[in-house]
A and B are shown apart, each in its own frame.
Chain A
Amino acid sequence: MDASTSFETHHDPHAHSGEHEHHQLGWWRTYIFSTDHKMIGIQYGLCGLIFLFFGFSLMMIMRWQLAYPGQALPVIGKWLPYFFGANTMPDGKMTPEFYNSLGAMHGTIMIFLGVVPVAFAAFGNFVVPLQIGAPDMTFPKVNAASFWAFAVGGVIMLTSFFVPGGAAKGGWTSYTPLSDISDKGPGFHPFLNGQTLWLVGFIFLITSSLLGAVNFITTIIQLRAKGLTWMRLPFFVWSQFVTAFLLLLAFPPLEAAIVMQLMDRTAATSFFLPAGMIVNGAPLHISGGGSPLLWQHLFWFLGHPEVYVLILPAFGIVAEILANNSRKPLWGYKSLVFSVLVIGFLSFVVWAHHMWLTGMGSTVSAFFQTTTLLISIPSVIILSAFFISLWGGSIRFTVPMLWATAFLPMFGIGGLTGIPLAFNSADLYLHDTYYIIAHFHYIVAPGTIFGLFAGVYYWYPKATGRMMNEFWGKVHFWPSLICMNVIFLPMFLQGMLGMHRRWYDGGQGWTLSGEHIWGLTGFQWNTPISWAAWIMGLAQIPFIFNFFWSIKHGKKVNDNPWEATTLEWTAPSPPPHGNFVITPVAYRGPYEYSLPGREKDFTMQNEPVEPSERSRRAAEPVLVH
């Protein structure tokens, strides 16, 4: 295909004059600089999955240092210095600075370049317009801009590995004053250093999220198909709607904080630096008058809603899959919707529970403990509704369903272990230990990421017209499930032994780790954990293979292979530009499975309500949402 012709077509003034004939767009405009929501969703998804694997690889390298501190990393240890620079792993042995870089970038990449793009941007872009019966997002060009801002942000983050001194080392939270003064001085470029690039990259990522959020909310409000009232929206759309609001309103204060930290680093301001700081024995020439706590407040003002940005889309995906595979309406649709709204609302007023140890007074602590415990109520309602949805269903254990069912107990563990952390008295002990790591990873790793895998397997046939291979899907699922638990369950024990999460030597010298749990000391537990992590890395290979192989060789399926009810399954697979052949109209709720008196056990949203149904519906109010 000739790209130049397609550009001419584009510039032709008649192209916009309302004739709306279908143009054959060139390769570049179809696959790279696309404004089609499906292509942007797939771009986001692929980039996000690659970033997820990259972020996971960083952790796999770190796990070597934790299990075998000070020993040379075999095989790849020799090659890594060529990639990351000579000072990172001399002779295959990791330096403390590089360890810090890996830790900070693992968190940043997994959250902001991996999970958010896949959960929010990829699934949101691909699925939401289809589920609401829209031809595209409201602002397709803004949508493309959002993706490209994300891409630039990602490139900047990756570039920061290769500047002198390496990537940011201040942790994914970039706490000041440490991050204000790190990566500065001899050996560092004034602008092209890890921490400054981290900040600049972040500005692009935030821009991307803001543009995406504006687009999502407008799309959901304006482009719902005829008849698709708010209470007929699939739960996934609701979860994306709330997520978009969280991103829209929580990210800007962090952007403000990032601009301030950027000023601190480049314009010598002291937003986050108190007076009288002494670094390397010499007093800093700064005005002072700043407050390190201010950074923490602004960071966690985003940081906590961000947790729900990570989990809500997974809730949505799991809800769709549970209803579809249990062949039963989702239990308590309304309470799910209200729970998700309450979560969105409360998530803005709980942030300081990340800061119990910063010296807040009892009044403030009491306030934040109360709101933190309150927010667990809607989360429990959602999880309970999911479990009850399974009750009495005729469950099909398809691959997406395996991931979705595994999500439930995993998220349960993650959520329940968070309750001790909500009390500042218990948190005094558990703060900054491996317990914290285990807690939030149970939510985002076997929680959210399992939800994401479920979504990939579930909507893959819609995107390609072909199924992913079921056998390899199961080969992917079972080792991942087992390894996840071998990795994170022992971390609770390590944490309760008091192992600190930032130790570079894996807690080798920690005396209390002499205490044994299940036959191993805290430090010795690092070895099985690390091996589980590496095996889990291997377990992703079937997925990668399956993902690309099935594009061409997967089993061909019809438009609705899962026999689902929501509107995206009325579009052709893959949907053409503009999505629907016939503009859909919704006549009923999103989960009309197993309606009595019907031939098939699913009734799609665009099937008109029959007269015979009306009288029965009046008699059986249970089925009416």
Chain B
Amino acid sequence: MNNPPDISQDPAEHEEYAHGIQKHVKGYLMVGAALIVCTALTVGLSYVNFGSQKANIIVALLLAVFKVSLVGAVFMHLAAEKKLIYRVLIFTGFFVFALFWLTYLAWYNPIVR
């Protein structure tokens, strides 16, 4: 889904532009509905046993990641954003990962427990 282009001063073009936005609005509503459905799904699936607690956590988090990427991609316009913002986010992602992974590693590998 692309971002709406910048608004034009020309009334004829503006009409077309407003129409373009209108299409986006439909998309926003659909994503909203999808998010609500996913929420219901998350709750429902949490009462299904996927074999182990680990599997249950993975299923729930995968759904959460899916929902979050919907919000990010559509509501926050990340599906078509400028390079610079991707770069900032990739950096941030790397450091969050470092924070999670290394904290986990430090927990996982002590001399004595």
Interfacial residues, chain A to chain B (CB-CB below 8 A)? 221, 245, 249-250, 253, 293-294, 297, 301, 348-349, 352, 359-364, 367
Interface status of B84 (Cβ within 8 A of chain A): yes
Given A245-B91, A360-B111, A352:B98 Cβ within 8 A: no
Give the residue of A221, A349, A361 whose beta carbon is less than 8 angstroms from that of B110.
A361
Given A249-B95, A348-B98, A293:B106 Cβ within 8 A: yes
**A249 x B106 contact (CB < 8 A):** no
- Inter-chain contacts of B109 with A (CB < 8 A): 360-364
Count of CB-CB pairs between chains A and B under 8 Å: 38
Contact code string B75-107 (vs A, CB < 8 Å = 1, else 0): 000000000100000011001001100110110
Report B101 CB to chain A, min CB distance, Å.
10
CA distance A367 to B91 in the complex (A): 20
- Inter-chain contacts of B98 with A (CB < 8 A): 348-349
Interface status of B112 (Cβ within 8 A of chain A): yes
CA distance A299 to B17 in the complex (A): 50
Q: List 19 A-B contacts (CB under 8 A).
A: A245-B91, A249-B92, A250-B95, A297-B103, A297-B106, A301-B99, A348-B98, A349-B102, A352-B102, A359-B110, A360-B106, A360-B109, A360-B111, A361-B110, A361-B111, A364-B105, A364-B109, A367-B102, A367-B105
Residue among B84, B95, B98, B111 with most chain A CB within 10 A: B95
Report B113 CB to chain A, min CB distance, Å.
9
CA distance A253 to B99 in the complex (A): 9
* New A-B contacts (7) at CB < 8 Å, excluding given A297-B106, A352-B102: A249-B91, A249-B95, A253-B99, A297-B103, A359-B111, A360-B106, A364-B105
Which residues of B, 23-46, contact A by the 8 Å Cβ criterion? none
- Inter-chain contacts of B112 with A (CB < 8 A): 359
- Inter-chain contacts of A349 with B (CB < 8 A): 98, 102
- Inter-chain contacts of A294 with B (CB < 8 A): 103
- Inter-chain contacts of B102 with A (CB < 8 A): 297, 349, 352, 364, 367
CA distance A221 to B84 in the complex (A): 9
**B106 x A364 contact (CB < 8 A):** yes
Report B87 CB to chain A, min CB distance, Å.
10
CA distance A301 to B102 in the complex (A): 10
CA distance A518 to B91 in the complex (A): 50
CA distance A363 to B109 in the complex (A): 7
Report A95 CB to chain B, min CB distance, Å.
37
Closest 6 pairs (CB-CB, A-B): A361-B109, A359-B111, A363-B109, A364-B109, A249-B95, A359-B110
Q: Which residue of A lies closest to B113 (CB)?
A: A359
Q: Which residue of B lies closest to A245 (CB)?
A: B91
Residue among A245, A294, A361, A362 with most chain B CB within 10 A: A361
Q: Which residue of B lies closest to A352 (CB)?
A: B106
- Inter-chain contacts of A352 with B (CB < 8 A): 102, 106
- Inter-chain contacts of B95 with A (CB < 8 A): 249-250, 348
- Inter-chain contacts of B84 with A (CB < 8 A): 221
Report A190 CB to chain B, min CB distance, Å.
31
